[in-house]
């Protein structure tokens, strides 16, 4: 690939994923990733602080979730606001084109303890951002935290179903289905 082609972060993430699958996370260097993407090491570091971060686009995801919560109808309850945000995330980020990459990415994360740890830390940051967004809607702190935790569970269920390849639905409808199941489980007790 020529250096002038657009979407350097996307190219770096695709190259990293390929290399992590081929050689393992531990055996892949930043230089390997940059070369596979047709870029330089300095270009890599312009976008990512280290190779652990190359598979995480949490800034985009966090921004979309916070915007989705803010854009939820004023009458929406806290969990419904989170569900609206997850649905918007599905329309914008977890698209059909992104499904294969996401499944492959998750397999790489699952195979590497360092990346699983990074993923867990990113989810904590994401939860804090969602709780903050609910707080800005006037949701009391404890209620916002509970809605965020339930929303995170809904996300995990929907995401697992979305990447498994057995469900033809898009992420948004899978999130709504998971929300209904979580509510039913909560109501049963």
| pLDDT tens sequence across 50-97 | 999 999 876 788 999 999 999 999 999 999 999 999 999 999 888 888
Contact 124, 148 (CB under 8 A): no
Contact 123, 152 (CB under 8 A): yes
* DSSP letters for 134-177: HHHTT--HHHHHHHHHHHHHHHHHHHHHHHTSS--S-HHHHHHH
* DSSP letters for 67-85: HHHHHS-TT--HHHHHHHH
Residue 3 confidence (pLDDT): 47
Residue 96 confidence (pLDDT): 85
Residue 58 confidence (pLDDT): 67
Per-residue confidence of the chain (189 residues) as pLDDT tens digits? 444 567 899 999 999 999 999 999 999 999 999 999 999 999 999 999 999 999 987 678 899 999 999 999 999 999 999 999 999 999 988 888 889 999 999 999 999 999 999 999 999 999 999 999 999 999 999 999 999 999 999 999 999 999 987 878 899 999 999 999 999 998 886
Domain parsing of the chain, residue ranges: 8-53, 56-187
Question: 56-187 domain in CATH 3.40.220.10?
Answer: no
Residue 57 confidence (pLDDT): 76
Secondary structure of 93-113 in the HEC alphabet?
CCCHHHHHHHHHHHHHHHHCH
Distance, in Å, from the CA atom of 111 to the CA atom of 124, rounded to the nearest integer, reads 20
Instruction: Specify the CATH class of 8-53 in words.
Output: mainly alpha
């Amino acid at each position: 690939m020529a250096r002038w082609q657009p979407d350097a972060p996307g190219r770096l993430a695709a190259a990293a994923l390929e290399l992590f699958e081929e050689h393992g996370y531990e055996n892949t260097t930043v230089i390997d990733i940059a070369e596979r993407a047709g870029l330089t090491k300095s270009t890599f570091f312009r976008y990512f602080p280290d190779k652990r971060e190359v598979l995480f686009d949490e800034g985009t995801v966090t921004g979309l979730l916070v915007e989705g919560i803010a854009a939820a109808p004023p009458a929406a309850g806290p969990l419904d606001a989170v569900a609206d945000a997850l649905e918007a995330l599905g329309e914008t980020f977890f698209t059909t084109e992104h499904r294969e990459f996401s499944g492959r990415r998750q397999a790489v994360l699952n195979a590497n303890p360092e990346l699983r740890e990074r993923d867990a830390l990113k989810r904590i940051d994401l939860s804090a951002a969602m709780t903050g967004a609910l707080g800005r809607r006037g949701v009391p702190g404890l209620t916002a935290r509970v809605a965020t935790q339930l929303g995170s569970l809904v996300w995990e269920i929907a995401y697992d179903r979305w990447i498994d390849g057995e469900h033809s639905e898009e992420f948004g409808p899978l999130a709504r289905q998971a929300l209904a199941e979580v509510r039913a489980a909560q109501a049963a007790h």
